[in-house]
Each structure stands twice: as C-alpha cells, then as structure tokens.
Amino acid sequence: MFRALADPTRRQILQDLRGGELSAGEIASRFSIKGPSVSRHLSILKGAGLVRERRDANRILYTLVEDRLALCVGGFLSTVCPEQVVLRRRQSRRAAGTPT
Amino acid sequence: MFRALADPTRRQILQDLRGGELSAGEIASRFSIKGPSVSRHLSILKGAGLVRERRDANRILYTLVEDRLALCVGGFLSTVCPEQVVLRRRQSRRAAGTPT
DNA sequence: TCGCTATTTAGCAATATAGTTAGATACAAG
DNA sequence: CTTGTATCTAACTATATTGCTAAATAGCGA
C-alpha cells in the first residue's frame, strides 16, 4: 500500500481520479509515459486496493477507493502522530446492501 | 517522503520513535538487520525530514518530526479524500519563542 | 596517545522498480 | 469472421533499493 503510494505518477493518478471515474486511456493521456507503463501503475494501484476497475464496452474505467486510502494511511498517521490527524469514521458506501 | 515511508522497517522505526528519542543502537537492536542497514534507513528518514538527529556524547539520538509527517501525508490525504481525514492544525512546538 | 564503543561510509551482490517495444486479448461494428 | 480501437501481458534494459562485510570516523576515558 505505501509502496503503491511511493511513485509520483501513481499519486497523481489517484488525485486525477478524485474527479470521478476515468478510462485507462484518459488517464494515460495525462502523462508523458506510454500506455503499458500506465497500465502497470493501474494494476499496482488495483493490487493495493486503491482503485477498482469496471469494464465499459471497449474501455476499462477506474475508480478511486477512498475508504481504503483513508483507513490505511490515516490509520498509520493516527498511530504515529495521533494528535495531529483525525480519521473521520464514515459509513461504507455500500453499507446499505451489505449483510454485515 | 512517500518513498521514505515505502519501507516497512522505516515505518516501524517511526512508530518506535513515537515513545521518544532513541539512539541508533537502540533502534537497531529492535530489528534483525545489521547496524549499517539501520543507519541507512535513518539517513533516508532524516533526508525526508521525518526524523532529526542530535549527538549525545558517544551516541546519536533520533527524534520523530511529527509535524512533517502529518503535514505532508495528511496533506495528501486531505486532497484525495478530504471527507475522511481531518488535519488538526496545531501550534509549532517551538512557537513559544517565535516572534509571530 | 591508545583502546573502546557507537555509528557512519564504502563497496558489492541480489532483488525490485519503471520505462520501453512488440505482440496478445477483448469488445463493437460491419 | 474481419477490421479497428482500447487495454493488457511479455520480455527486456536501466536504475534504484536493500542487505551484507569491512573499514573509516567521532567521542570518551586511562
């Protein structure tokens, strides 16, 4: 997870996804590196659980998984500097349909 | 900075420093890796501004720089998932002597 | 100064990372 | 079933990272 955040391109991808779902191609077009490199970055982010992918016809759309980022990184921050960071607890976005 | 946090040993060092100042040797003794490796981890953390060092006679003592961690990482989190993380603003520890 | 302890620096090997190009796969439209 | 677009996987290269051992440096005390 922290490994996934170590690369600036990946952090930028996460920020770009802040505006909503984007296709691999749209993401790639924002960087100077070639498609395959972006694709691997996306698969690393996916492996870390930071993005989710969904097929839409021809394209593959990526979405930010905010909860995961907030819980993991925020959790770490809360451990090391609990006075300065507050993790705001929040219902899971899918809580409605979740069996629990 | 995120690069510095990418290594689990370094994250553990930061957590260990949560309890206060520790010497390089004390830190090293908590890990299975040898002294020189720990020394390099410490210099990377220092390079990222996450720890500060101070000489005490024979030894070198390391301190956690919480502000830096909270501001950088918390700042990133606040950008990507602002709803879920709150950065608590806090007077600098040296504010007392600051002209302001 | 000499010897002792604590820590860092230097040099090396193994593994991981990030980029590239070329080719494979998935889907939509004829 | 063939073509065209979007994306991924494979194979390769260059660089970075992490660990190790051996040697250098810094401070303390006789």
- Whether residue B67 and residue A77 make contact (CB cut-off 8 A), yes or no, is no
- The answer to whether A8 CB is within 7 Å of strand C is no
Tell me which residue range forms the domain holding A34.
2-94
The residues of A whose Cβ lies within 8 A of any Cβ of B are 2-3, 5-6, 11, 14-15, 18, 64, 66-67, 69-70, 73-74, 76-77, 79-81, 83-88, 90
The pLDDT score that the predictor gives to residue B30 is: 97
Work out the angle at residue B29's Cα, subtended by the Cα atoms of residues B25 and B30, and round it to the nearest 5 degrees: 125
CA A70/CA A88 separation, integer angstroms:
9
Does residue A3 surpass a pLDDT of 80?
Answer: yes
Q: How far is B75 from chain A (nearest CA, A)?
A: 10
Residue B76 · residue A70 · CB < 8 Å: no
Q: How far is the CA of B90 from the C1' of D30 (A)?
A: 50
* Other C-beta atoms lying within 10 Å of the C-beta of residue B89: 8
Query: CA-nearest residue of chain B to A74?
Result: B85
Distances (CA, A) of A49 to A67, A70, B23, B60, B75: 10, 12, 36, 39, 21
One pLDDT digit (tens) per residue for chain B, 100 residues = 999 999 999 999 999 999 999 999 999 999 999 999 999 999 999 999 999 999 999 999 999 999 999 999 999 999 999 988 888 886 665 544 445 4
Cα–Cα distance between A1 and A47 in angstroms, integer? 8
Q: Are strands A59-64 and B59-64 parallel, antiparallel or unpaired?
A: unpaired
Domain total in chain B:
1
Structural domain includes residue A84: yes
Cβ pair A86:B84 closer than 8 A? no
**CATH number of the domain residue B91 falls in:** 1.10.10.10
> In 3D, which of B43, B79, B92, B67 has the Cα closest to residue A85?
B67
Q: Which residue is nearest to nucleotide C17 (CA to C1')?
A: A7
H helices of chain B, where? 2-5, 8-17, 24-28, 35-47, 66-80
Interval A31-43 mean pLDDT: 98
| pLDDT for A88 | 86
pLDDT, tens digit, 9 for 90 and up, residues A42-91: 999 999 999 999 999 999 999 999 999 999 999 999 999 998 888 887 66
